[in-house]
Structure 1
Amino acid sequence: MSFEDMYPIFGRVIAEWSAPPPHTTPSAPFLFRVHGNGGDHSALRVIATDFHSNTFQAIKSRQQLEDLRDDIGIGGSWSEFLDYVTTSLKSGDVKLIMEGLSTSGGAGYAKLIAQKAKGMPRITFSLNKLVDGAAGEAMANLALELYKEFKDVQSSLIEEQESKYLLTKVVAAEQEKNVTLQKQLDMVLYSKKHKSQKINDRESDSTSVMGSQDSPDKHAAQDPSSRKGANRVVPAHRRSKVRGAVLNDPEDDGA
């Protein structure tokens, strides 16, 4: 792994004086940028500026970084060391300590100190003062790179918003489709339920009619033999003679 693969790191920090000179005014906020150094992919460049009278820079070669690694006692592979450096610079625990006085104004030099977490080794970069054209060029490069970073973030945000908008449209279309399908399903279920109810009503009416046709009263009313037997008249020759009738005496008939 080399610093060519490292995404530039930007940060903001309030500088502190190691020993504040007399009559110093409060320090302005500093911006810093850490990135690979041009064509030397194993080197690291650090720039910190307040865009006024204090602009500092450090370029660390691979060998200088190896020495730094030995000084702070970080083991493991080279890639693990680079990961530790970048993680420390991205953490919230980054300080800029200014020291000495410069004839051009401001501090003579500074140190950028980064720590991954409390109790872990500190990464310290000693920064030299830049003046005149070198300072102006460093400030211009940092400003342009910062603007580029802003545009990259803005483009990513716009793409994300567009993707979110398209996704919202897809979700809305699917919801509308689901509502339509649900209505169609409700209509089919209602139609089936209504048809089933009509069939049940017909079966119920048919059962009632059949029940009335099979009732005993109706059978009795419709049975002619039953009605005839109930109203039949006994023939005269089979009727019992009326009590008290006068019987004829055969002898009297012969007389």
Structure 2
Amino acid sequence: MGFEELEPIFGELNVERAGEGSVPSRRFLYHVHAADPSHLRIIVTDFHSNAWEAVRSIVQLEDMRDNIGIGGSWLEFIDYVLASIKSQDAKLILEGGLDTVSGAANAKLVAQKSKGMPVISISLTELVGSAASAAITNLSLELFKAFKSIHDLYREEKELSNQLTKALAAEKERNENIQSQLEQYSKGKKLQKISSSDKADASALLNNGLENSPEKQTPRDTALTKVANRVVPVYRRARVRGVTLQDTEDIEDE
């Protein structure tokens, strides 16, 4: 149980004067980070003359947890505290002092994860002199480190995206070439099939023609054709028609 793996958190707070509502003023940013494995540190500043700080140990946070009445595990409680601070309704409440932001006597960070949920209230201590300058410097450096980290990550992601885009383009071109080759092969096979079919039809027609040609007729068919086409001489046809058939006995009697 500690803050060894806590990632720094940055954000902006809504500023209010206690009892007066919102106050037109400079913008205030906050920085939440681990001061050490057992302490949570919160810095709030306008990067000018105002800076506040809150440092809470694990024991102090446990006491705050009991006072608020939040159950669950320790990690769930810390997650709720950080989620409340990061919410859009997180506020910097200024108390006492002058009517402007500069010179406020007290300040506190008030936040809740959502309406109806427990309210987190953390009192802040004003930083002055070198302590304020150091806090502002540290926040600025941490902001730059966070920005650089995000920027480097963005560049890596962009480079990876470009590589993937090139790989996809090459793969698309390869697929198009393969598709083109397949289409050409399919057309070639279709033409070959059509050519083979035409050759088969031509061969069948040729065979049928040869079978039906006179040269292919059998001798018997040729003989029948010759007999059917033979013309009987006239004298023989007349004689045959003039023959009278008589009985053999009549001939003998004569």
The TM-score with structure 2 as length reference comes to: 0.84
Amino acid corresponding to residue 228 of structure 1 in structure 2: K
CA spacing shift, 1:54–1:211, aligned 2, 3 Å:
same
Answer yes or no: is 1:85 the counterpart of 2:81. Answer: yes
Give identity over the alignment, percent: 48
Q: Tell me which moved more, 215-224 or 75-84.
A: 215-224
Q: Does the CA-based 8 Å contact 1:14-1:28 persist in structure 2?
A: no
Q: Does the CA-based 8 Å contact 1:108-1:128 persist in structure 2?
A: no
Amino acid corresponding to residue 8 of structure 2 in structure 1: P
Indicate the residue corresponding to 1:15 in structure 2: 15
1:76, 1:109 → 2: CA distance? 32
Provide the aligned length of Structure 1 versus Structure 2.
239
1:139, 1:129 → 2: CA distance? 13
Indicate the residue corresponding to 1:210 in structure 2: 207
Answer yes or no: is 1:51 the counterpart of 2:47. Answer: yes
Q: Deviations over 1:69-118 (max 9, x none)?
A: 0111111111111111122222222111111228xx52122111121111
Answer yes or no: is 1:154 the counterpart of 2:151. Answer: yes
Q: Tell me which moved more, 149-158 or 224-233.
A: 224-233
Q: Deviations over 1:17-36 (max 9, x none)?
A: 1045xxxx722110100111
CA spacing shift, 1:129–1:238, aligned 2, 3 Å:
same
SS of equivalent residue, structure 1 residue 3:
coil
Q: Deviations over 1:127-170 (max 9, x none)?
A: 01111111111000000100111001101110110110000011
CA spacing shift, 1:116–1:218, aligned 2, 3 Å:
farther
The TM-score with structure 1 as length reference comes to: 0.84
SS of equivalent residue, structure 1 residue 101:
coil
1:242, 1:50 → 2: CA distance? 148
Unpaired runs of 5+ residues, structure 1, are 245-255
SS of equivalent residue, structure 1 residue 15:
strand
Answer yes or no: is 1:62 the counterpart of 2:58. Answer: yes
Amino acid corresponding to residue 26 of structure 2 in structure 1: A
Unpaired runs of 5+ residues, structure 2, are 243-254
Indicate the residue corresponding to 2:2 in structure 1: 2
Q: Does the CA-based 8 Å contact 1:54-1:107 persist in structure 2?
A: no
Aligned-pair RMSD on alpha carbons?
2.9
Q: Does the CA-based 8 Å contact 2:40-2:55 persist in structure 1?
A: yes
SS of equivalent residue, structure 2 residue 108:
strand
CA spacing shift, 1:242–1:193, aligned 2, 3 Å:
closer
1:175, 1:243 → 2: CA distance? 98
Answer yes or no: is 1:34 the counterpart of 2:32. Answer: yes
Q: Does the CA-based 8 Å contact 1:88-1:123 persist in structure 2?
A: yes
SS of equivalent residue, structure 1 residue 5:
coil
